[in-house]
Amino acid sequence: MVFDNYLVYWTKSTVSLSMFPQTLFLVGNAVNIVKEIHQTPIRSMINIDIMQWQEHGGSSLY
Residues β-bridged to residue 10: 31
**C-beta neighbour count of 32 within 10 angstroms:** 11
pLDDT of residue 55 exceeding 50 = yes
Q: In a 3-state reduction of DSSP, which class is residue 9?
A: strand
Domain residue ranges of the chain, discontinuous segments joined by +: 6-55
pTM of the model: 0.16
pLDDT in tens, 3-34: 444 444 443 334 334 444 444 444 333 444 43
Per-residue pLDDT, 59: 54
pLDDT in tens, 41-54: 444 445 555 555 55
Distance between CA atoms of residues 47 and 13, nearest Å: 8
pLDDT band at 1 (very low <50, low <70, confident <90, very high): very low
C-beta of residue 61 within 8 angstroms of C-beta of residue 39: no
